[in-house]
Each structure stands twice: as C-alpha cells, then as structure tokens.
C-alpha cells in the first residue's frame, strides 16, 4: 500500500480528488443553491396596426433557482420577457408571458401568473382649434393688437376613449409689461370639458404653437383730475378746500376716445360726520379701454369750522358805576344778543356767559337812554343787541329806608 501511494500518478490523482472535494465544500458554503423572485415587465411584441396600449402592463413575478452569485448577477431585463400580441384584439385580455433568455446556470421555477393582462384600444384622431389665452396687460401707454398663431389647429392621436375626452387645445401667453411685439413658442395643453388636463396616452401634432402678439404705443394726453367729495361734515363744519395730488395725469387710449375726455374723476371721498381734514388714496375712474399712468391719486378734503351767528334771549342787564345813594330802574331789564364766531366757540355759549351792562358813571338822578355794552369771550363778535338802547331811571332813595334796587349793580369802571 505504501509503495502504491509513493507512485507519482497515484499521488496526483489523490491530490486532485481532495482538491475537488475542498472546492465543492467551499462552493456549497460560500455560494449555496437558492431561489429568487424577480418582477419582470414583459415587452409587447407584434402589436397589431391600429391598436394602442391603453394601460401599462403590470410586472409579473418570475422565480429562478441557482447559485447565489449567478442569481443576484441576473437582472429582470436579461430574461427577455415578452408577450406576443400577433393575434391580439381590442379590449382587455390575458396573454402568455414567455422568456427568451434564461442563463444556463439558472433554472426557471415558476412564472405566476403565467399570463399578463393587456388592455388595447383602437387608435383615433381628432383635430381641435387652438385657443389663445392672454395674461397680463401691456405697459401703460401701450396696447395689445390681434395675436397671430400658427398653426391654428392641432391633431390629437391616441386611444379612442382618451381622444374623446379632449375638448379644448389651449395655449397661454403672458404680455404683462410688454412694450414691443411678443414672439414666443408655446406648448399646447389639452383640456377636457371640465377644464382638467388630458395628457396620458395622447400625441399632439404639433406640440408647440408659434405666437406673435403685436404691441404698439397708444395716443396720450394730459388731463386734470376732478376729486369727488360726498356726504356732509358734522354740524358747524364745512369743506373749505379740496386738494388732489397730482392735479393732472397722463391718460392713453384710442384717439377718438381721448378727444372726448377733458378730465377724469376719482372715486368718492366720504366726509360724512367729519370734523377734521380727511385724506385718502383714491382710484381714478376711467372709461373702458382708457388707461392712466397712475392708478390712484391723493385726495385731501380740508375741513374747518363754519362762522355762525346765534341769538341769545334773556341776557340780564347789569349796572355799572351807579352813584352813591341812588337807585336805578331799567326798561327792559333783559336784552337779546346776536353773536358771531366759529362754531366750536359760539355753539356752547349760554346767556349766562355774556356780560351786558349800562355804564352810569357821573349820572345824577333823572331819566336817560343809554346804550348797552357787551363783554364777550375771545374770538366772539357782537352782531346786534336788541334793544341797543335802554331807558334808565335814576332816583334818590326814600328817606324812610333804602329799597331794593330793581337791577343789579356792578360798580366796575
């Protein structure tokens, strides 16, 4: 036995056998047999003319068995999954899933489900006019002319049910602040009858529309601004002045319209019940298709008190500088006084606030007609005293005793 093992060929064979066993051991430990599932989306082949796929085909699970390394080195696309639609018809139907390329080191375990559901629909076409929607306005003093679009129709192609949903072909162009012609290429948007986009499965020919929007300068002129004041201020107050800033503005529009406009008005400024100056930024009211360089102007209504007259009855007459040991009788004892001044000053005055008197300085007993004098508050002016002259009777008092004086005496100088 020992002699046999000492022969070179035998040693080599034994070594090779042991190496093979070791390799098998390592392979089974490091790269064992496993199963793996892949989600495979089958390719659609031989789609009949005049039909189109309505919905995406769902992926199909494919189970493979093999060594771990080979399993995870294989991707779904390498399996070549497909569905043959050569005999397909319109509608939703199931078709077998086939694989064209299974790696030699791997084994197909299962395709479940074995069929893929494919929804096909006939192709339809529809021509729709293009609608242009302009957004914004040109710069003040400029106008937007009639846009030109090319082409004026688009052709829709796709599944019959999707084409039927299409109701409008819309393009949008922004001309905000434009001073010159606007030339743009705009993508088309397809909308249904509710205004919602319809895009899935549709081909639009062409997808882009060429748009030219003419923009030109308008005639312009300067006109005065007429502020509008409404309402009545509080009692005793008036609007003494109305200011507007700016007083003149530039307006633009068609020449025939501008020729008829001599001024523009503001929206009303309401001063109802106000006692103080009131200001506001008011919008300028313009005819349709006429624009102004400014949208608002500053309007100020200056309020001030009115100058009013008031007549106060029963103002008591007083006597000043009556001589000693003399008595006096006045006829009448009270007068009516008419005063003038600003409303906040004059309005609260009562008869008790006025001092009306006759000055009897250096007068002896006798009968007199003397003018009535008034002392008034500041900023108040006397308009009339009725009567302005009163009869004054000065008497010596009775010797038996001093009687009460019928009029009050005030010996102020």
Q: Is the pLDDT of residue 317 over 60?
A: yes
CA 253 – CA 293 distance, rounded (Å): 11
Confidence of residue 401 (pLDDT cuts 50, 70, 90): very low
Are 330 and 368 in contact, with CB atoms under 8 Å apart? no
Please check whether residue 303 is in contact with residue 276, taking contact to mean a CB–CB distance below 8 angstroms: yes
**pLDDT at res. 288:** 86
DSSP-derived secondary structure for 298-357: EEEEEEEEPEEEEEEEEEEEEEESPPTT-EEEEESSEEEEEEEEEHHHHTT--GGG-EEE
Q: Residue 171 and residue 185: Cα distance in Å, rounded?
A: 10
| Helices and strands in the chain, H and E counts | 6, 34
CA distance 213 to 134: 9
Closest C-alpha to 362, from 354, 370, 351: 370
Asked if the 220-305 domain carries CATH number 2.170.120.40, the reply is yes
Which CATH number, 3.40.50.980, 3.40.50.720, 3.40.50.300, 2.170.120.30, labels domain 307-410?
Answer: 2.170.120.30
What is the rounded CA–CA span in Å between residue 79 and residue 199? 32
- Tell me, what's the pLDDT at 238? 93
**Domain definitions of the chain by residue range:** 33-113, 123-217, 220-305, 307-410
pLDDT class for 13, splitting at 50, 70, 90? low
Percent of the chain with pLDDT over 90: 57
Q: What is the pLDDT of residue 404?
A: 41
By the 8 A CB rule, do 170 and 134 touch? no
Mean of all residue pLDDT scores within the chain: 87
Report the topology of domain 123-217: RNA Polymerase Alpha Subunit; Chain A, domain 2 (2.170.120)
Q: Give per-residue pLDDT as tens, 193-240.
A: 999 998 778 899 999 999 999 998 888 899 999 999 999 999 999 999
Measured distance between the N- and C-terminal CA atoms of the chain, rounded to whole angstroms: 169
R_g of the chain computed on alpha carbons: 55
For residue 362, say if its preceding peptide bond is cis, omega within 30 degrees of 0. no
CATH number assigned to the domain with residue range 33-113, chosen from the 4 options 3.40.50.740, 2.170.120.30, 3.40.640.10, 3.20.20.70: 2.170.120.30
Q: Which band of pLDDT confidence, cut at 50, 70 and 90, is reported for residue 117?
A: very high
State pLDDT tens for residues 135-182.
Answer: 998 888 888 889 999 999 999 999 998 899 999 999 999 999 998 999
Segment 54-64 shows an average pLDDT of 90
* pLDDT class of 11 with cuts at 50, 70, 90: low
> What pLDDT was estimated at residue 21?
57
Q: How high is the pLDDT of residue 76?
A: 84
| Side-chain-side CA neighbours of residue 2 (13 Å) | 0
């Amino acid at each position: 036995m020992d002699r046999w093992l000492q022969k070179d060929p035998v040693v080599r064979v034994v070594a090779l056998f042991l190496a093979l066993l070791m390799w098998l051991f390592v392979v089974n430990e490091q790269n064992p047999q496993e199963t793996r599932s892949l989600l495979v989306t089958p390719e659609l082949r031989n789609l009949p003319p005049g039909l189109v796929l309505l919905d995406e085909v769902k992926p199909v699970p494919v189970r493979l068995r093999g060594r771990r390394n080979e399993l995870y080195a294989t991707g779904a696309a390498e399996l070549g999954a497909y569905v043959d639609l050569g005999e397909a018809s319109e509608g939703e139907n199931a078709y077998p899933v086939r694989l064209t390329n299974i790696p030699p080191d791997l084994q197909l375990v299962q395709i479940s489900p074995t069929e893929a559901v494919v929804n096909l629909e006939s192709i339809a076409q529809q021509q729709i006019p293009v609608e242009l929607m302009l957004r914004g306005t040109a710069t003040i003093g400029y106008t937007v002319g009639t846009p030109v679009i090319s082409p004026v129709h688009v052709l829709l192609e796709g599944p019959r049910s999707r084409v039927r949903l299409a109701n409008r072909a819309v393009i949008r162009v922004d001309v905000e602040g434009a001073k010159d012609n606007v030339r743009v290429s705009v993508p088309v948007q397809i909308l249904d009858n509710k205004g919602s986009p319809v895009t899935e499965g549709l081909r639009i020919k062409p997808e882009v529309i060429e748009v030219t929007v003419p923009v030109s300068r308008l005639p312009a002129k300067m006109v005065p601004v007429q502020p509008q004041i409404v309402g009545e201020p509080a009692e005793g107050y008036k609007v003494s002045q109305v200011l507007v800033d700016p007083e003149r503005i530039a307006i633009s529009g068609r020449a025939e319209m501008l020729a008829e406009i001599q001024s523009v008005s503001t929206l009303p400024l309401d001063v109802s019940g106000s006692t103080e100056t009131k200001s506001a930024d008011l919008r300028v009211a313009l005819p349709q298709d006429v624009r102004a360089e400014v949208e608002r102007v500053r309007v100020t209504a200056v309020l001030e008190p009115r100058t009013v007259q008031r007549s106060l009855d029963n103002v008591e007459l007083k006597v000043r500088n009556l001589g000693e040991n003399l008595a006096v009788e006045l006829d009448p004892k009270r007068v009516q006084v008419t005063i003038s001044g600003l409303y906040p000053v004059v309005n609260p005055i009562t008869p008790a606030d006025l001092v009306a008197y006759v000055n009897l300085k250096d007068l002896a007993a006798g009968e007199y007609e003397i003018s009535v004098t008034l002392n008034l508050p500041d900023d108040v002016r006397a308009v009339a005293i009725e009567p302005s002259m009163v009869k004054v009777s000065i008497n010596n008092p009775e010797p038996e005793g001093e009687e009460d004086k019928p009029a009050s005496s005030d010996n102020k100088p």
